[in-house]
Amino acid sequence: MSETRAQPGEYYVELAPHARQPRHRVSFPARIEHDRAQDALGAWWIRPSMRAAVVEDLRRWLQATPDVGIQLEFLRSGANLRSPGDVVVQVRDHGSEHWQRIRPDRDGRYPVGGDPVWPWFLSVPTTSALAIFTTRNRLLQSDRLRAEPAERHVALDGRSPGFPAIVGQGPRNGILRPRFRPAVAASVLAWANDRAMRIDPDFLCGYWENDTIVLLDGEHIDEHGYQPTLIQPDHDGRYAVAPGRWAWCDSVE
């Protein structure tokens, strides 16, 4: 896993599905190309471009996780007459193996992947089910979810707790458009991440990047050209979390 945080213009990516561990998500920050590649099952996987420090983190993780079947090494000066800084990759799949050589681009980034044996998908920063569950319990305490003046509680069809928000009407069929204080938006995201990890992998999940929420839709994440939704605060600092994806309604609590 990478301890390096994403830089502006980067998102987090993980190897999937064969390298994904059910209770743990290991990810690496990278730029992603708009164009996708397609695997034999029709899923569109992304083509990440990683900084050298992140590739080194990836190398260490692959070395410690031999079941993935990929080994990666930097080629140093003079090695096999190849340019210093190149990366050589050994990929094993169903008893066969092949090699790749990856050269850094003009920005010093490495286009890692590009092979159906190790497809990459958008993800959240490295985490675990325990960490997500602990965060959920901490951020869903009742004193954190008390309504302030002009707020009322909204929920998602009985599946979620009631979250206090200032509520407006959406453009379609009177669906509510709640706007949450930052602390409550963090609670909404913590609840969604827990549901995506433990119950429904196609559910929305996300993370904070400074004051922006980066939201990933598991139902569409493997579609061609998919990009994360970036939710920035409104003029009053509140967040409208997934108003077009989630059908918010008044809470019955």
- For 24-51, the pLDDT digits (tens) are 678 999 998 777 777 666 767 888 999 9
- Predicted confidence at residue 21, as pLDDT, reads 57
Candidate ranges 65-74, 116-125, 155-164, 227-236; pick with highest mean pLDDT: 227-236
The two counts, helices (H) then strands (E), for the chain are: 3, 19
- For 182-239, the pLDDT digits (tens) are 999 999 999 999 998 888 888 899 999 999 999 998 888 877 778 899 999 999 999 9
- Predicted confidence at residue 135, as pLDDT, reads 94
**Token pair for 85:** 């800084």
Q: φ and ψ at 121, to 5 degrees?
A: -135, 155
**Token pair for 27:** 């990810």
Domain ranges in the chain? Answer: 11-123, 128-250
Q: Are 207 and 197 in contact (CB under 8 A)?
A: no
Report the distance separating Cα 82 and Cα 100, nearest Å.
Answer: 13
Report the distance separating Cα 88 and Cα 112, nearest Å.
Answer: 10
Report the distance separating Cα 215 and Cα 102, nearest Å.
Answer: 30
**Residue 68, amino acid:** V
